[in-house]
Amino acid sequence: MNEENKEKELNNEHSVNDGELKGDTEGSTNESGLAETALETDIEKLQKQLDESERLVGSYKDQLLRLAADFENFKKRVEQDKIEFIKYANERIIKELLPILDDFSRALINGKATPDFESFYRGVDLIYQKLLKLLESKGVKPIESVGKEFDVTYHDVLMQVPRPDLKPHTIIEEVERGYMLHDKVIKHAKVIVAGESKEEGDQNN
């Protein structure tokens, strides 16, 4: 092989190698470009998701603020309703008591004009019975005390009187009547009870 042929072969080899190198470089560039495009697409998707999340957060925040304001207004309305209820809770019972109060007023006026105490007493007793009937219709009932044994649940003792003929702590007099509202004591009866006689007390000592 002469020098000229060797040089041609060498040039051909260089051309092949340059082509292969160029092809490899172009392939790498294309792959890099595709990867970059895919990354940009992913970033865009993530950005859209982030924007949507921020929008939802803002929307939920507005809803929460509105709910908080509505709840605060509701609390104020409930408080106002409560005040009004307490203020006028007894309105109905008071309206029902007013006619009885008028009856008392008329009885007192008429009592001054008549010397007949018996008729005056009957008039007042009639009013008293009307009042009791009204209270009973509302669940109020008097506590029966006289003759019963003292019970701290229903009675307050004002004093003890020696009564050898009675069992100790038997109620002998009701100074002020007690009352219950349904099953609840709303006023204790003030009573006088039988105590031990002096002789019994000395024997016990």
Residue 89 placed within a domain: no
**What is the CB-side half-sphere exposure of residue 187 using CA atoms within 13 A?**
13
- The whole domain housing 150 covers 141-197
- The Cα 158–Cα 145 span in angstroms is 13
Chain position carrying tokens 């044994």? 149
In this prediction, residue 40 carries a pLDDT of 81
Q: Is the pLDDT of residue 114 over 60?
A: yes
Report the alpha-carbon distance of residue 35 to residue 53 in Å, rounded.
27
For residue 168, being part of any structural domain is answered with yes
SS3 17: helix
Q: Is residue 159 part of a domain?
A: yes
Label each residue of 116-146 as H, E or C: CHHHHHHHHHHHHHHHHHHHHHCCEEEECCC
Tell me: the pLDDT tens digits for 35-70? 678 778 888 888 888 888 888 888 889 899 999 999
Report how many domains make up the chain: 1
Task: Write down the H helix ranges in 89-116.
Answer: 91-113
| Domain-located, residue 82 | no
Residues 192, 161 contacting (CB under 8 angstroms): yes
* 150 within some domain: yes
Distance from chain centroid for Cα 190: 37
Share of the chain above pLDDT 90, in %: 35
Identify the residue whose tokens are 């209270």: 135
pLDDT score at 108: 79
Separation of CA 131 from chain center? 35
The average confidence (pLDDT) of the chain is: 81
Distances from the Cα of 24 to the Cα of 10, 17, 18, 136, 169, angstroms: 21, 11, 10, 108, 119
Predicted confidence (pLDDT) per residue in 71-92, tens digit: 999 999 999 998 888 888 777 8
Is residue 57 domain-resident?
Answer: no
Q: Which amino acid is at 19?
A: G
Q: Report pTM.
A: 0.53
SS3 174: strand
Please give the pLDDT value at position 76.
94
